[in-house]
Structure formats: structure tokens, C-alpha cells
Amino acid sequence: MRYLLALLIFFLTTADVFGWTASLAPGLSVKNAILYLIILALAARFVVRGGIRLQLPRVHLWLGVLILYAMLSWLTTALLVRYKSYTLLSSGIDLKAYLLDNVLVFVLFLYGTETFADAKFLLKCILLAIAAANAVAIGNVAGLFHIGMTTVGIGGNLAGRVFGAFGHANETAALIACLLPAYVAAALSSTGVGRVVWALAAATSAGLMIMSGSRGAFASMVLATIVGTFMCRSLISARRAALVAAIILIIAVPMVALVSVKFGDILTQRVTELIFSPGTSSVERTYIWMPIIDKMMANPTAVITGFGWDAYDVMGFTFAVHNHYLWLWFELGVIGLGSYLMVVAQLLITARRAAAIANSETSRYLIAFIYGWLALSFAVLAALLFRPWLYIWAYTAVTMRMALIATQTAKEPRQSAAPVAAATLFRSRART
């Protein structure tokens, strides 16, 4: 199964690099078809083995609440509310593409991996595939070759910004911010040539993040470092953390200098502006968000229930919402936003608890997951993601498999020790 999942990762990444959007039917692309075929293979394996044992029940519970409420909201909006220009088919396709497919990928990679070796193999496949896609984007922009499709912004605040293979520049940067800690964990868990390869993969991805000019991604990494270090303060050695920080700095300085040769304007205008004039980006976002918030405040019921799945696009707003949480709140209300936040909380809690009892290698990947999801959670305060979610949920699933294995392994010695203790007590009583 893990080789099928690796093939899926390869195909998804290749399709994004080359911009393949071939459709077999409305809402069914070639990527979707391959995903569903592998899900059928997983279902067949469960049938042969006699069923499935539910794992991470709280995560499944809140994902289920999110999906069910989104579907109810979609049907209610299409059949009862009937906004102008709102159609049942197109909004249903969006529901499948932006929510159901993400959950299916999470379930597929969670239950498709069974061992730590499977999870580690697939995690490295994800990291290598994304690093390769980022390297292609950099090579295209640098004029070294021309492979696939790489977009460079032309006008306004997008001028000169590299979009990469994973959508808008902000989307690509958010994905990289989420995975950079995992690259560091992979490097620390490797030796020799392997460590060099992972360091280069991390440097390549970080270089593209700079070229994207995403202020939100840089701010999210700073915030994630602060909050993540506080959350994992009892798990991280200060000496080891200082060593890792020094190594990252040694790699980052020449990398930033190299990227700045051609993209110095982006670095100056976008990144340094975030440091010296943080109000600039906040004014831009406030200009977008205030009409949305005013619309909600004018409809108190919608603050609780939301306006309905996919309703934002038919409300006449000029700009994309640029905030994942506000988007969920606007369309799915308190239930949609709350269930998503509970999913994130359960993922972080599971990773944190497992990291405390896992071996050193597994703990590195779990701590990296905490930092990465915190960075992602801060990044989507100022961005809306579409294409990166499939990779993020695949990464989440294989890391959660590591957490489950670590938890189960820690429980086994205690469970096996119970019969021994009972036998010892019985013998002592027999002597008396």
C-alpha cells in the first residue's frame, strides 16, 4: 500500500508542476480518479481483514461534524435560500474538492500506513516531492531550464513574486512554512550524504518562500517558533536547540544573499516592510475584511449559522477573503469554525503527548509537526489555501501514524508487566 501512496504523491506533484487539469467528468479530474481507486483498494483490504478499527476518534468526530454541517449548509442554501447565481452542482463540486477530498486523503494516508517504516517512507516522499517541485520553480525563474508552469506576478503587490507549483504565492509559502520543520527533523535524523540532501531540500524550499514574498509566511514562522518552543519547552534541549539554530543560520545567510541577487527588491519591499512597517499589510487585510464583518454583523443569525457553504462567491465581494478562519465563520458559522479549531487542537495535543513518550527520532518528527502546524495556523490568518491542503493532510496523516505507534509502543511494556506483577504477588502469598 505504501508504494501506491508514494505513487499518488508523485502524480499529484507532477500534475501541479505541469498544470495538468484534465477532467473526466464534472468534478472528477484524473487526480481524483487515482485517489478514489486507491481508496477502493484500501477499502478492499479492510473487507479482507474483517473490518476497520477506528483510530484518533476525536479527530474523526470533529471532521465528521465539519463535513455534515457543510453538507447540510450546502443543501439548505441551494434548495431553500437560493442565492442569485448559486447552483447546487457547482457548489457541490467545490464541497467535494475543498473539503471531502482533503478528509479522504487524511483517512487514506492514516489507515494506509501501518508501521513506522511506512510512515517515515511516505513522509520523506512528500518532502522530496515538494522540494523537487520548488527546485523546478526556482530553475524556471532563474532561466536554467523550462519545465512545467511557473508563474511570476506582474502587477501591483504581486510584481516579481514567484507562485511555484502550489497555487498563489501565499499558498506556496504557507505550505513551505508548514513543512520546513519536518525538513529540519529529517536532516537531524540522517547522517552523511542523507543529511546534506535534506539540508539542500530545506534550503531550496526556504529559497522559494523568500521568492514568494509572502509576509504572512515569515510572520507565521516567527510566531510558531515562539509558541512552539513554549509548548515543547520540556521536550527540547536548550543546547541542542542552540546548535540547530546555529546550523540554520549558517545555511540561511548565504542562501538569502544568493536569492537576493535576483529577488532583492522582493526581500526589501515585502519582508523588511513587515519588520519596519507591519501596519501596511494589516491595512490591506482590514480593507478586505471589514465589508465581510459588516455583512455578518448586519445578519446576526448568520453569525451563528453562517451564510451557507460556498456563499461568499455569490455575495458580490471584490476580493478573496484572505483568511481561512473568517471564510469558515462567514460560510459555516460557529459550528464550522469551531469544529475546524477542535480538529487542529486534537492534532496538536496528540502530537505533543506522543512526543513526550516517543523515541528520539519519532519525537523529532512530532515536534516538527507541532511547529509546522502552528506556522500553518498563523499563515492562514492572512491567506486562503486550496491546492496545498492535499499535501498538508497527507503529511498530517503519516505523522499521526507515528504518534499512534509511539503511544502504543509506550503502553505495551506496562500491559505486559501486569501479568508478571500478578504472578509475583501470587507466589509471595503462597509462601506465607
Query: What confidence tier does 414 reach under pLDDT thresholds 50, 70, 90?
Result: low
Of the two residues 160 and 226, the one the predictor is more confident about is: 226
- CA–CA separation, 72 and 64 (whole Å): 12
Q: Which residues contact 181 (CB under 8 A, 6 or more apart)?
A: 367, 368, 369, 371, 372, 375
User: How deeply is 428 buried, as exposed, middle or buried, from its count of CB atoms within 10 A (0-12, 13-18, 19+)?
Assistant: exposed
pLDDT over 90 percentage in the chain: 57
Q: What is the pLDDT of residues 268-283, one digit of tens each?
A: 565 555 555 554 455 6
As a whole number of angstroms, the distance between CA 340 and CA 346 comes to: 10
- Alpha-helical (H) ranges within 101-214 are 101-112, 116-142, 169-188, 193-212
For residue 164, pLDDT beyond 80 = yes
Q: Mind listing the pLDDT tens digit for each residue in 391-409? A: 999 999 999 999 999 999 8
- pLDDT recorded at residue 26: 77
**Mean of pLDDT values over 60-88:** 94
pLDDT one-digit tens code per residue, 141-159: 888 888 988 888 787 677 7
Triad 35, 37, 39: Cα angle to 5°: 70
Q: Which residues contact 324 (CB under 8 A, 6 or more apart)?
A: 380, 381, 383, 384, 385
pLDDT band at 421 (very low <50, low <70, confident <90, very high): very low
Pick 226 or 21 by higher pLDDT: 226
pLDDT at 111: 94
pLDDT > 80? residue 348: yes
Phi, psi of 324 (to 5 degrees): -60, -40
Of 131-140, 243-252, 415-424, least confident by mean pLDDT is 415-424
Residues 254-266: b if buried by 16+ CB within 10 A, e if exposed:
ebbeebeeebeeb
Task: Please give the average per-residue pLDDT across 91-118, as a whole number.
Answer: 94
Per residue in 298-320, pLDDT (tens digit) is 998 999 999 999 999 999 888 88
Amino acid at site 5: L
> Please, are residues 337 and 63 in contact by the beta-carbon 8 Å criterion?
no
Across 211-235, average pLDDT: 89
Q: What contacts 318, CB < 8 A, 6 or more positions away?
A: none
Across 44-53, 102-111, 200-209, least confident range: 44-53
The pLDDT score that the predictor gives to residue 400 is 97
State the DSSP code for 269.
Answer: I
Task: Yes or no: say if 325 and 319 are a contact pair by the CB < 8 Å rule.
Answer: no
Q: Is the pLDDT of residue 129 over 70?
A: yes
pLDDT tier at 370 (50, 70, 90 boundaries)? Answer: very high
Residue 431 predicted with pLDDT over 70: no
Three cell numbers, residue 274: 513587515
Sequence-distant contacts of 406-412: CB under 8 A, at least 24 apart: 406/354, 406/355, 406/357, 406/358, 406/359, 406/362, 406/363, 406/366, 407/353, 407/354, 407/357, 409/358, 410/357, 410/358
Q: Indicate whether this model's pTM tops 0.85.
A: yes
Give the model's pLDDT for residue 432: 45
Task: Give me the pLDDT at residue 372, please.
Answer: 95
Mean pLDDT of the chain: 86
pLDDT above 80 for 2: yes
Mean pLDDT of 281-289: 75
Identify the burial level of 82 via C-beta atoms within 10 angstroms of its C-beta, where 0-12 means exposed, 13-18 middle and 19 or more buried: exposed
- Structure confidence at residue 227 as a pLDDT band (50, 70, 90): very high
